Amino acid sequence: MDFLQNTLASFVSLVPVTLAQSLILAFVVLGIMIPFRMLSFPDLTSEGAFPLGGCVCGVLMAAGLSPLPAILIALLAGFVAGCCTAFIHLRFRIHTLLAGILMMTMLYSINLRIMGRSNLSVFGSATVFDWVPGLQPGFPASKIVMAGAFGLIVFALLLHFFRTEKGTAVRAVGANPDMAEAQGINVWLATIGGVGLAGAFSAAGGALMVQSQGFADVNMGLGILINGLAALMIGEAIVGKQSVLRQLAAPFVGAIVYYQLVSFCLAAGMPPPDLKLATGLFVLAMLALPSLKRSRGPAPARETVRE
């Protein structure tokens, strides 16, 4: 009884902090979802683009730049990183996964070069979270409001975009690249733009994270990909992925639920080092589920990706 009470008490006390964190990391989940689901391009760049955004933002903040331009420049850096991954795949016909691994490995060195050391404190610099009126800066409430507002704007813009003529064309590239090309769609442009956009979101997540936690670290991306993937799987299990609306809502819902689950496990006394194993097993289970269910109903579509 005591154990349950303690667990619940510490879990509840962590809810606001976790919520703030999950709203920021929702951008990374978005950066994983867009290539994976909209373009059938499993992209690993986010593992490098997330710390890239953080490092760029950290260095700029330390140099005295105001927080919003710092985020925008970080976003641009992430966009370029994503474009590079897509270009490597398209130009040299390298497998999408390998292109992502190459890019994220190279980004590690680039991130170190940008910062000049492995971590950088920006504690005390102005952040976008200070701008929320009526709330004390530095507390979870202001982060929830600010990150939530950014998330809502991005969600609304993407929802509009993927329903426009251009956005439909981008989704067609993911659904059937050969057909898309035969319908006059420039597959290169759509792929490079889409994966670049995803990199931009991952980097924006990193930039917001740095402003939230007050420091940048080259290792801040370690394991972010598997966390994001787990969050995406949860989100898709809850809201589904049958329509553009649902597919776009999944990263946000998934991030919020996933990080609360993690927080609950930690509150229940799970040793933090075991977290990656648990997350990995969870993603495996979610991906394996369709093939386990095959005996009932029609055969589920296999996960098809571009190679």
Q: Rounded to the nearest whole angstrom, what is the least distance from the CB of residue 12 to another protein in the complex?
A: 41
Cβ atoms 142, 135 nearer than 8 A: yes
Q: Rounded to the nearest whole angstrom, what is the least distance from the CB of residue 242 to another protein in the complex?
A: 8
What is the full DSSP assignment across 213-225? HSEEEGGGGTTHH
Nearer to another protein, 6 or 164 (CB): 164
Taking the C-alpha atoms of residue 28 and residue 225, their distance in angstroms, rounded to an integer, is 8
Nearer to another protein, 48 or 167 (CB): 167
Q: Can you give the binding site for another protein, defined by CB under 8 A?
A: 160-161, 163-169, 171-172, 174-176, 178-187, 301
Q: Rounded to the nearest whole angstrom, what is the least distance from the CB of residue 189 to another protein in the complex?
A: 9
Q: Rounded to the nearest whole angstrom, what is the least distance from the CB of residue 181 to another protein in the complex?
A: 5
Q: Hey, CA dihedral for 210, 50, 276, 9, is it positive or negative?
A: positive
- Cα–Cα nearest to 130, from 217, 212, 53: 212
Nearer to another protein, 195 or 244 (CB): 244
Nearer to another protein, 52 or 248 (CB): 248
Nearer to another protein, 40 or 85 (CB): 40
Side chain identity at residue 203, one-letter code: A
Q: Rounded to the nearest whole angstrom, what is the least distance from the CB of residue 171 to another protein in the complex?
A: 7
Both ends of the chain: CA-CA distance in Å? Answer: 52
Nearer to another protein, 169 or 237 (CB): 169
Contacts of 145 (CB under 8 A, 6+ apart): 132, 135
Q: Rounded to the nearest whole angstrom, what is the least distance from the CB of residue 113 to another protein in the complex?
A: 37
Give the position of tokens 């639920």: 257
Give the position of tokens 């194993």: 277
Residue 104: both structure tokens together: 């994220």
Q: Rounded to the nearest whole angstrom, what is the least distance from the CB of residue 18 to another protein in the complex?
A: 34
Taking the CA atoms of residue 283, residue 288, residue 290 and residue 294 in that order, the dihedral angle to the nearest 10 degrees is -160
Nearer to another protein, 12 or 175 (CB): 175
Q: Rounded to the nearest whole angstrom, what is the least distance from the CB of residue 252 to another protein in the complex?
A: 22
- Cα–Cα nearest to 124, from 215, 220, 206: 215
163: burial class by Cβ within 10 Å (0-12, 13-18, 19+)?
A: middle
Nearer to another protein, 169 or 278 (CB): 169
Ramachandran area for residue 124 (φ above 0: left; ψ -120 to 50: alpha; else beta): left
Taking the C-alpha atoms of residue 248 and residue 179, their distance in angstroms, rounded to an integer, is 24
Q: What are phi and psi of 4, to 5 degrees?
A: -60, -45
